[in-house]
């Protein structure tokens, strides 16, 4: 079972990852938590290049390819082997981030992006994608109050609105894969919604 967490700034998806892993481990599942970009030694090196504030001249195509390079390594080395063992993988962002940020955010054609993603991932798709959805301005206010700043944090409100709308469009295209979670609720309620969605999908998969 491969589960991805997606969302815009300040959606709180990252803080839901570990409690979700604990919940699944209590049910005897072998759970791995990962993040993108990164998650492997090579991927973490690529992450540094992507986030480096000095890399102001980075072209969107370079950025896209670096995200796919990090992803290819993660799929090959970590995700696929763990899924083959019957484990659960929880990944903080995955291919849908490329479609939402680089595709909808930069307003680029999605088709070449989809082809690159398929190449990088061997067409590995999540069984379940949780969209932590919230008003973009609420998210930006949350984000402004904490955390480190990196090159990819410099987007404006209109960019994040396109990203959010992009996520919704992706969810409409594949309703069986996506579950939209209201990320403006208190964290405890968000966690409940996450666990409910996962339990439901696990039942569907085993039944």
**Rounded to the nearest whole angstrom, what is the least distance from the CB of residue 124 to ligand TYD in the complex?**
14
Applying CB under 6 A, which of residues 20, 37, 66, 183 lies at the interface with ligand TYD? Answer: 37
The nearest distance, CB 75 to ligand TYD, in angstroms, is: 12
Under rule CB under 6 A, residue 33 binds ligand TYD: no
Angstrom distance (rounded) from CA 165 to CA 96: 13
Angstrom CA distances, 31 to 7, 79, 92, stand at 21, 11, 13
Cβ nearer to ligand TYD, comparing 62 with 150: 150
Distance CA(3)–CA(31), nearest Å, equals 11
Q: How far is residue 48's CA from residue 34's CA, in Å, rounded to a whole number?
A: 16
Q: How far is residue 101's CA from residue 99's CA, in Å, rounded to a whole number?
A: 6
Structure tokens at 72: 């290819």
Contact region for ligand TYD (CB under 6 A) — 24-32, 91-99, 119-127, 180-188?
91-99
b/e map 105-116, b = 16+ CB within 10 Å: beeeebeebeeb
Is 126 near ligand TYD (CB under 6 A)? no
Give the Cα separation of 11 and 186 in Å (integer). 11
165 to 194, contacts with ligand TYD by CB under 6 A?
A: none
Pair 171, 131: CB distance under 8 Å? yes
Could you say whether residue 139 binds ligand TYD (CB under 6 A)?
Answer: no
Query: Is the CB of 66 or the CB of 202 nearer to ligand TYD?
Result: 66
Q: Does 129 bind ligand TYD (CB under 6 A)?
A: no
Task: Between 60 and 200, name the residue whose CB sits nearer to ligand TYD.
Answer: 60
With binding defined as CB under 6 A, does residue 101 bind ligand TYD?
yes
List interacting residues with ligand TYD (CB under 6 A).
Answer: 14, 36-37, 67, 92-93, 97-98, 101-102, 150, 152
């Amino acid at each position: 079972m491969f589960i991805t967490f997606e969302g815009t700034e300040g959606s709180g998806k990252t803080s839901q990852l570990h409690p979700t892993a604990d919940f699944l481990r209590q049910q005897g599942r072998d759970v791995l938590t990962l993040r993108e970009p990164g998650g492997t030694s090579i991927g973490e090196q690529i992450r540094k290049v992507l986030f480096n504030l000095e890399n102001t001249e980075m072209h969107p195509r370079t950025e896209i390819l670096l995200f796919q390079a990090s992803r290819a390594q993660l799929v090959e080395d970590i995700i696929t082997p763990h899924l083959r063992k019957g484990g659960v993988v929880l990944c903080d962002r995955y291919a849908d981030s490329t479609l939402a940020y680089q595709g909808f955010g930069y307003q680029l054609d999605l088709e070449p992006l989809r082809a690159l993603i398929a190449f990088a991932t061997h067409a590995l798709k999540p069984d379940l994608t949780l969209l932590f959805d919230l008003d973009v301005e609420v998210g930006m206010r949350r984000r402004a109050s904490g955390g480190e700043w990196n090159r990819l944090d410099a987007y404006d409100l209109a960019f994040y609105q396109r990203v959010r709308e992009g996520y919704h469009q992706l969810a409409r295209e594949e309703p069986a894969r996506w579950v939209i979670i209201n990320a403006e609720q208190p964290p405890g309620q968000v966690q409940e919604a996450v666990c409910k969605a996962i339990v439901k999908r696990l039942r569907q998969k085993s039944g």
